[in-house]
Structure 1
Amino acid sequence: MKTEIKQRLAALRAEMKKYGVDAWYISGTDPHSSEYLPKRWETREYISGFTGSYGLVAVTLDKAALWTDSRYFLQAKEELEGTGIEMQKLRVTDAVSPDSWLSLNLPAGSKVGLDAQSLTADAFRSLQKGFLKKDIELVETPDLLEVIWEDRPAVPNDKVFELDVKYAGVARPEKQQKIAAELASFGADIHVVSMLDELAWLYNLRGSDVPYNPVFTAFAVIGENESVLFVDPAKIDSELKSKLEADGVEVKDYTTFYNYLSEINGKTIYIDPSTLNSAAYSALSGKNELVEGTSLVAIQKAIKNETELEGFRSAMKKDGVALVECLHWLKQTIGKETITDYEFGKKLAEFRVKQANFKGESFPPIVGYKSRGALVHLHIGADDALPLEADGVVLFDSGGQYIDGTTDITRTVALGAVSDQFKTDFTLTLKGMIGLTQAKFPYGVKGCHLDILARQALWENGMNYGHGTGHGVGHFLNVHEGPMSIRLEYNENLMLPGQVLSNEPAFYREGQYGLRTENMMVCVERETTEFGRFLGFDTLTLCPIDTSLIKVDLLSDKERKWLNDYHQWVNAELKPLMEDKYHKFLDELTAEI
Structure 2
Amino acid sequence: MSNTIKERLSALRAEMQKLNIDAWYISGTDPHASEYLPARWQTRAFISGFTGSYGMVVVTQNEAALWTDSRYFLQAAEQLEGTGIEMMKLRVPDSVSPEEWLCDKLYAGSRVGMDAQTVSVAGFKSFERTLAKHDVELVETTDLLENIWTDRPLDLAEKVFEPGVEYAGVSRVEKQVNIAAELQKPGADYQVVSMLDELAWLYNLRGNDINYNPVFNGFGFIGKNESFLFVENSKVDAGLKATLENDGVQLKEYSEFYAFLATVSGKKILVDPSSLNYSAYSALVEQNELLEGTSVVSLQKARKNETEIAGFKEAMKKDGVALIEFLNWLKNSIGKKTVSEYEIGLKLREFRAKQDGFKGESFPPIVGYKSHGAIVHLSVGPDDALPVEAEGILLFDSGGQYLDGTTDITRTCALGEITGQQKTDFTIVLKGMIGLTNAKFPYGTKGCHLDILARRPMWEHGMNYGHGTGHGVGHFLNVHEGPMAIRQEYNENKIEPGHVLSNEPAFYREGLYGIRTENMMVCVEKEETEFGRFLGFDTLTLCPIDTTLIRVDLLSAEEIDWLNNYHKKVNAELKPLLSEEFHGFLDELTVGI
Q: How high is the TM-score relative to the length of structure 2?
A: 0.99
**Equivalent position of 1:136 in the other structure:** 136
2:313 maps to 313
Rounded to whole Å, the distance in 2 between the matches of 1:336 and 1:275 is: 50
Alignment of 1:109-508 (within 5 A): 109-508=109-508
* Alpha-carbon separation, structure 2, partners of 1:142 and 1:332: 55
Equivalent in the alignment of 1:87? 87
Alpha-carbon distance, 1:155 to partner: 1.7
Q: Deviations over 1:5-48 (max 9, x none)?
A: 10000000000000110000000000000000011111000000
Which letter maps to 1:581? E
Deviations 1:475-511 (A, max 9, x none): 0000000000000000000000000000000000000
**Deviation of residue 61 (structure 1)?**
0.3
CA distance in 2, matches of 1:287, 1:128: 22
Is the 1:305–1:498 contact (alpha carbons within 8 Å) kept by the matching residues of 2? yes
CA-to-partner distance for each residue in 1:407-457, whole Å, 9 max, x for gaps? Answer: 000000000111101100000000000000000000010000000000000
TM-superposition CA deviations, 1:298-333 (whole Å, max 9, x none): 000000000000000000000000001000001011
Gap runs ≥5 in structure 1 = none
Per-residue CA deviation, residues 511-543 of structure 1 (Å, 9 max, x unaligned), is 010000000000000000000000000000000
What is the letter of the counterpart of residue 273 of structure 2?
P
Quote how far apart the aligned CAs of 1:150 are: 1.1
SS of residue matched to 2:4: helix
Q: Secondary structure at the match of 1:206?
A: coil
CA distance in 2, matches of 1:542, 1:505: 18
Aligned match of 1:555: 555
CA deviation map 1:189-239 (0-9, x unaligned):
001000000000000000000000000000010011100000000000000
* Paired residues of 1:267 and 1:289 also in contact (CA < 8 A): yes
3-state secondary structure, aligned to 1:536 = strand
Q: Aligned to 1:24, what secondary structure does the other structure show? A: strand
* Equivalent pair of 1:433/1:517 in contact (CA under 8 Å): yes
Q: Residue 126 of structure 1: SS of its match in structure 2?
A: helix
Deviations, residues 251-275 of structure 1 (Å, cap 9, x unaligned): 0000110011011110000110110
Letter in 2 for 1:176: Q
Paired with 2:46 and 2:339, the residues of 1 have a C-alpha distance of: 32
Contact 2:194 2:220 in 1 (8 A): yes
Say which SS state the counterpart of residue 161 (structure 1) adopts: coil
Amino acid in the other structure paired with 2:481: E
Secondary structure in 2 matching 1:383: coil
2:264 partner SS: coil
- The answer to whether the aligner puts 1:546 opposite 2:546 as a matched pair is yes
Q: Give the partner amino acid of 1:183.
A: L
**Correspondences of 1:25-64 after superposition (within 5 Å):** 25-64=25-64
1:385 Cα offset (Å): 1.6
Give distance in 2, aligned partners of 1:324 and 1:163: 28
Shift in Å, 1:3:
6.4
Q: Distance in 1 between matches of 2:496 and 2:151?
A: 46
Letter in 2 for 1:539: T
Amino acid at match of 1:530: E
Query: What does residue 73 of structure 1 align with?
Result: 73
**Does structure 1 conserve the Cα–Cα contact (< 8 Å) formed by 2:2 and 2:8?**
no
Provide the residue aligned with 1:98 in structure 2.
98
Residues in 1 aligned to 2:378 and 2:2: alpha-carbon distance in whole angstroms: 20
- The answer for the alignment partner of 2:587 in structure 1 is 587
Three-state SS of the structure 2 residue aligned to 1:384 is: coil
What is the aligned residue count? Answer: 593
How far apart are 1:94 and its partner, in Å?
1.3
Aligned to 1:11: 11
CA drift at 1:286: 1.9
Task: Report what 1:517 is aligned to.
Answer: 517
In the alignment, residue 528 of structure 1 is paired with which amino acid? E
In structure 1, distance between residues paired with 2:324 and 2:122: 44
Is the CA contact 1:521–1:539 (under 8 Å) kept in the aligned structure 2? yes
Q: Is the Cα–Cα contact under 8 Å of residues 2 and 82 in structure 1 kept in the other structure?
A: no
Identity over aligned pairs, percent: 70
Contact 2:469 2:504 in 1 (8 A): yes
> Which residue of 2 is the match for residue 578 of structure 1?
578
d(CA) in 2 for partners of 1:334, 1:514: 19
For the residues of structure 1 that align with 2:157 and 2:226, how far apart are their CA atoms?
25
CA contact (8 A) 1:440 1:534 kept: yes
- In the alignment, the residues of structure 2 paired with residue 47 and residue 333 of structure 1 have an alpha-carbon distance, to the nearest angstrom, of 40
> Which amino acid in the other structure matches residue 561 of structure 1?
D
Partner SS for 1:413: strand
> Within 1, Cα distance between the matches of 2:529 and 2:199?
38
> Partners of 1:566 and 1:77 in 2: how far apart?
40
Contact 2:189 2:267 in 1 (8 A): yes
Q: Is contact 1:3–1:83 with CA below 8 Å preserved after alignment?
A: no
| Matched-pair contact (CA < 8 Å) for 2:193–2:219 | yes
Matched residues in 1 for 2:294 and 2:425: separation? Answer: 38
Aligned partner letter, 2:223:
G
3-state SS, counterpart of residue 368 of structure 1: strand
> How far 1:2 moved relative to its partner?
11
Kept after mapping to 1: 8 A contact 2:440/2:526: yes
CA distance in 2, matches of 1:86, 1:333: 41
C-alpha change, 1:102 and 1:206, in structure 2 (3 Å) is same
Are the equivalent residues in 2 in contact too, given 1:2–1:83 (CA < 8 A)?
Answer: no
| Secondary structure of 1:346's aligned partner | helix
Query: Which consecutive unaligned segments of at least 5 residues does structure 2 have?
Result: none
- Deviation at 1:185? 0.8
SS at match of 2:383: helix
Aligned counterparts of 1:170 and 1:468: Cα–Cα separation in 2: 31
4+ residue runs over 6 A deviation = none
Structure 2 residue matching 1:112: 3-state secondary structure: strand
> 1 CA distance for matches of 2:251 and 2:426?
52
Cα contact 2:2–2:148 (8 A) shared by 1 = no
Aligned residue for 1:449, secondary structure, equals: helix
